Structure 1
Amino acid sequence: MSEPILRRLSFTLYLALPVALTGCAGLETPVWLQSLYSTDSSQTYDTQKQTLDELLVQLQSDENTAQQAVSVKSSAIPGNNSPVGKNSALSRTTSEPAWNQSSLQDLKLANGTTRASLRESVERALLGSQQIMSSFQNFQAALQGQEIDRGRLMPQVNFQGQAGYDWRYRSPQPPSSESWNRSGMNLGLSQLLYDGNATRNTVKQLGLEKLATYYDLLTTTDAVANEAVNAYIDVVRYRHMIELAQENYNIHKKTLGLLSERLDSGVGRGVDTEHAAGRLALAQTNLMTENNNLNNVNQRYRRLMGDLPPKHIAPVPEPRLPTASEMTNFGMAIRNNPDILSKQAMVQAAQASTDAARGNFSPTLELRASTSSERDNPTSSNYGALNNRVEVVMNYALFRGGSDTARLRQSSAQTLSARNVRDHTCRNLQQELSTTWNDIQRTRAQLPFLKDHEKSMEKVSVAAEQQFQIGQRSLLDLLDTANELFDSRRARLNGEYDLLKLEYRWLALAHRLLPELGLAEPLGTRPAESSELLLPDEVIQACAAPIPDTKNLAPGGLVYQNDGLPPIIRAASKSGR
């Protein structure tokens, strides 16, 4: 069977599969199929055949499209060579084939592979992160460190055995000596009864330090997840940027060819050709820059996820953020942030260290029990006797050179230092939450204008092309409008992707990124000391502030005056949102 027949057979199956699936699932027929299976009698066979041939040519432009065709929503973000839906929130607004507007989002690729999703990519980054593994091992080390001191609260059992040879010499008169074999054993048990709660407070201190390492693990997890999200978004971003840069380059290359033909035929000007050649060189450098940006992002993606990004990447889901009406400040976000919780755990650990230092001023009571047998001095009547002993021993240090007092002052200073670190962290967190929130509101306010700018430039581009056809515009004028359209599309795409990165960053600061992605925390259960962690309300109130007022981001408006006077710009309102 010839290759053209195979291609047409594959294309026929490609058309039939969505029809069968939509019929079985009760879904609406995709838009791109409605043009082929229209029941309108006015559509002739030749028209349908022409439409079919156009789609076939479009499919043959990519050798893998017929085998890897995937249906996506109008808001889907395709790979390098895939067109973007016209109504896509993360796509360039331009005229594109209608066959990409299918509603069958969940279809796998024809070869059985699936697109990489944001959730799967972040999960791979978390599982392969050395930073997370290092933080986890620090947590395990802190856990065992607590168990070391916890063992001091348990009974201590010791066994001692001995064997040797003794001899005795008497002098001066008359000199004599004797010797014998000596052996013995001792089995002893000791139990700490009281030490001013120094050991218990030390165990508590180490438990809170362990809790701090647990929250450090969560902080590292949020940071790695946010970095993975940024890498994923940037891969999609620069794939789109390459599409725009390639399209811009093709326009400049085509225009230069037309100008060169006119120059060769004697109706063009050399300066116009040189001008177009210079712009083509600039378009080439823009394309090279975008390709290099994608190469760099691919390496960042590989470092985080362990492999280069696949050809097909799923759209970036839009995160759910609380609205300004749902909260008055960022207090809850601060309370949930693991970084501030880690610092609070260190404050309480320092306080427990102070309590342990005070215990050194108290006496120590121990219960001791032992049994021993020693074969010493064969002439004694107790030779080889079994000795049993039970006693309570008190040890009271009267003077240790001032070390206990110095230890108390040291722990008190460490407590004050930990509080300052906690308050500083809280202020920084409040600032980051506020500035990120401001950037989110600013980008949201700018996006409608960026989209309007892009739509306006599209209309200008169409009008300029129409004017060129009737001789009112030159090819260089078309290049000017093409450059402005290219810049407007880049600005709009950058705004949309910047907004996504800001929203996911805010979720990471509020410790809500993993739940948003449907991922669990590194450990199933939190340490028992988490129930003892108390973050005072006054600490939150001291650093928390109301949600930033972004009323000054409201755009100004034009006020048209009477009597033919020019319009004036009305300043943004300073009160009210």
Structure 2
Amino acid sequence: MALRMLKSLRSGALALSLSFAMPVAAVAENLADAMASAYEHSGLLEQNRALLRAADEGVAQTYASLRPILNWYGSISNSFGTSASLASAGLGTTIDTSTASIGITLQILLYDNGQSRNLIAAAKETVLSTRQSLIVVEQSVLLDAVQAFMNVVRDTQIVELRQNNLRLVERELQAAKDRFEVGEVTRTDVAQAEASLAGGRADLARAQGDLMQSQEFYSAAIGHRPGRLVAPRTLPRGPTSMENAKAVAIRSHPSMTRAKYDISTAEYNVDAAESALGPRVTLDGNYAVQEDLNHSYYNHAGTIGLTLGGPIYRGGQLSSILRQAMAQRDAQRANLHVVRHTTRQNAGNAWAALASAKAQLSATGRQVEAARIAFEGVREEAKLGARTTLDVLIAEQALLDAEASRITAQTSQFTAAFALLASMGLLTTEHLNLKVERYDPLAYYDAVKDAPALLSERGKKLDKVLRALGKE
């Protein structure tokens, strides 16, 4: 019941094509799996879903103001004392009377100059704005998942690279010692190889420390420790130009949509503040039963009537509220201008970061090829005595640095590609077609928007939903 109410498996057209490497074993995890786990694990998403449900209740509360208000009351009292009056010819009399009463009051709003209508509209716009905030959070959660996944992939590869290099340096050191024994090299060559080996061990320890930190980030973002990860092979399909990226961002980013809803909310609040200056008509009723506990006297009576009223002077409070609402509306309009420029800038920056990462990857690829050729050549020349051990170690270090740079560039490219999607508002489970149970914001809203009473059939169902979710 709870899942049906609050989550929906909505199938949609695949807006973006993601192609990931297929795991070679059942225990392997690809990027899509990690993002799905992050979506289902995130406490931040749960927090903002609860905030959205709270905003939904705001609509219910404002809607309830249009319904009849029915209250009950009861009292019991005892009057005691003495009195002397003209009616008692100045003689003192004792007062000792106990009474009990019980009654109900009814009030129905008939007209309030449109204030309630405007407040309901403002509450609905707040709900729509909060839904966009939830999408912003969803994008942040998924981008953190991408960053965590790619960081572990990068650092794992760098650790393996450092380990392989360490084994290579150990062989170089042994070769230098063997050649020193037969007099082909000096003690200096051996010392240089030993220094390179010590440096390689230090680099390996640093790489292992970086991997441990990345694993902790992964655990926090994804919800479990990383196992064997399969790196993605193909970038997600994105825009064809920077201007295209900016146009999509202005049109689709949830921050832009949220800012527009916030303006609508502020405008309805201005209308509500203006409506508060007008008249108000209510239908009021009362029925009470009063019994004298000392005698058999009683009074059963009721009243019903129309009440018309409105403000005349409240010390300037209402006009101040109106001016405040106008200022908040103007602030939201200005905020839309700021958000538009920020969104365009973020999309442009993300496009530039992706272009830079692609260029770096291409350059480091050529750097690795050249460094490998140079290293193999220097090593062969060293065997012939034309190069020293130091030359071999330097060439080897250049190759290692180039390979590490290429690994980092590959990670940066994938992270930048997904960051570009986020800057356009497209890094969502729906657009990525992730295999998750997607949260349906309409389910709870539709259940509460018309303010079901606690003891009504729908109210009881909502109570069951909250108990099932452990939210009460």
Instruction: State whether TM-score is above 0.5.
Output: yes
Take 2:294 and 2:199, find their aligned partners in 1: how far apart are those partners? 107
Aligned twin of 2:326: 412
Give the C-alpha shift of residue 154 in structure 1.
0.9
Tell me how far 1:297 sits from its aligned partner.
0.4
Match of 2:216 in 1: 299
- 1:467-506 equivalences in 2 (<5 Å): 467-506=381-420
Letter in 2 for 1:330: K
- C-alpha offsets along residues 511-536 of structure 1, whole Å, 9 cap, x if unaligned? 32222252568522448999xxxxxx
Structure 2 residue 226 is the aligned partner of structure 1 residue 313: no
1:198 aligns with 2:111: no
> Following TM superposition, by how much is the alpha carbon of 1:490 offset from its aligned partner in structure 2, in angstroms?
1.4
> Larger Cα Rg: Structure 1 or Structure 2?
1
**Which letter maps to 1:338?**
P
% identity of equivalent residues: 20
Asked whether the 8 Å contact 1:184–1:372 carries over to 2, the reply is yes
1:357 maps to what in 2? 273
Give the residue type in structure 1 aligned to 2:277: F
- Counterpart of 2:288 in structure 1 is 372
8 Å Cα contact 2:112/2:276 also seen in 1: yes
User: Are residue 322 (structure 1) and residue 238 (structure 2) matched?
Assistant: yes
Q: Which ranges in structure 2 are unaligned for 5 or more consecutive residues?
A: 1-19, 447-472
- Once the two structures are TM-superposed, the CA of residue 455 in structure 1 deviates from its matched residue by 1.6
1:179-229 deviations in Å (ceiling 9; x for gaps): 554333333321111112222222322332233222222211211111111
Q: One-letter code of the match for 2:213?
A: N
Change (3 A) 1:205 1:521: farther
Question: Which range moves more in the overlay, 321-330 or 218-227?
Answer: 321-330
Q: Deviations over 1:486-527 (max 9, x none)?
A: 122112221111100000111122232222252568522448
Q: Which has the higher helix share?
A: 2
Aligned equivalents of 2:212, 2:381: Cα separation in 1: 40
* Cα separation, 2, equivalents of 1:469 and 1:276: 15
Q: In structure 1, how many angstroms separate the alpha carbons of the residues matched to 2:411 and 2:356?
A: 14
Report what 1:115 is aligned to: 28
TM-score by length of 2: 0.81
> 3-state DSSP class of the match of 1:438?
helix
SS at match of 1:114: coil
1:33: which partner in 2? none
Give RMSD over aligned pairs.
2.9
Q: Normalising by the residue count of structure 1, what TM-score does the alignment of the two structures yield?
A: 0.67
**Between 142-151 and 237-246, the greater mean CA deviation after superposition:** 142-151
Q: Which amino acid aligns with 1:132?
A: L
Are 2:23 and 2:29, in contact at CA under 8 Å, matched by a contact in 1?
no
TM-fit CA distance, 1:231 = 0.6
**Any conservation in 2 of the 1:216–1:338 contact (CA below 8 Å)?**
yes
Instruction: Give the Cα–Cα distance (whole angstroms) in 1 for the partners of residues 224 and 245 of structure 2.
Output: 40
- State which of 251, 258, 261 in structure 2 corresponds to 1:342: 258
Asked whether the 8 Å contact 1:272–1:476 carries over to 2, the reply is yes
CA contact (8 A) 1:371 1:388 kept: yes
C-alpha distance 265-107 of structure 1, shift in aligned 2 (>3 A): closer
Amino acid at match of 2:205: M
Task: Detail structure 1 runs of 4+ shifted over 6 Å in the superposition.
Answer: 376-380, 527-530
Q: Does 1:158 align with 2:71?
A: yes
2:343 is aligned, of 416, 421, 429, to 429
Of the structure 1 ranges 434-443 and 323-332, higher mean CA displacement relative to structure 2 is found in: 323-332
Relative distance call for 1:297 and 1:229 in structure 2 (3 A) is same
Offset, 1:399: 0.6
Cα deviation for residue 434 of structure 1 reads 0.3
1:319 and 1:516 in contact (8 A); partners too: no
Decide whether the 8 Å contact of 2:284 with 2:306 is kept in 1: yes
**Alignment-derived partner of residue 193 in structure 2:** 276
Shift of the 522–220 alpha-carbon distance from structure 1 to 2, 3 Å rule, reads farther
Residue type of the partner of 1:233? M
Partner in structure 2 of residue 226 of structure 1: 143
Q: CA deviation at 1:402?
A: 0.5
**Count of residues in correspondence between the two structures:** 421
Distance 1:529 1:140 in 2: 7
Match of 1:334, SS? helix
Q: Is the CA contact 1:367–1:391 (under 8 Å) kept in the aligned structure 2?
A: yes
Partner Cα separation in structure 2 for residue 361 and residue 125 of structure 1 = 50
1:398 equivalent in structure 2: 312
2: distance between equivalents of 1:226 and 1:134? 18
SS at 2:439 equivalent: coil
Cα distance in structure 2, aligned partners of 1:288 and 1:265: 34
Is the 2:23–2:30 contact (alpha carbons within 8 Å) kept by the matching residues of 1?
Answer: no
The Cα of 1:290 is off from its aligned counterpart by 1.1
1:184 aligns with 2:184: no
Counterpart CA distance in 2 for 1:262 and 1:230 is 47
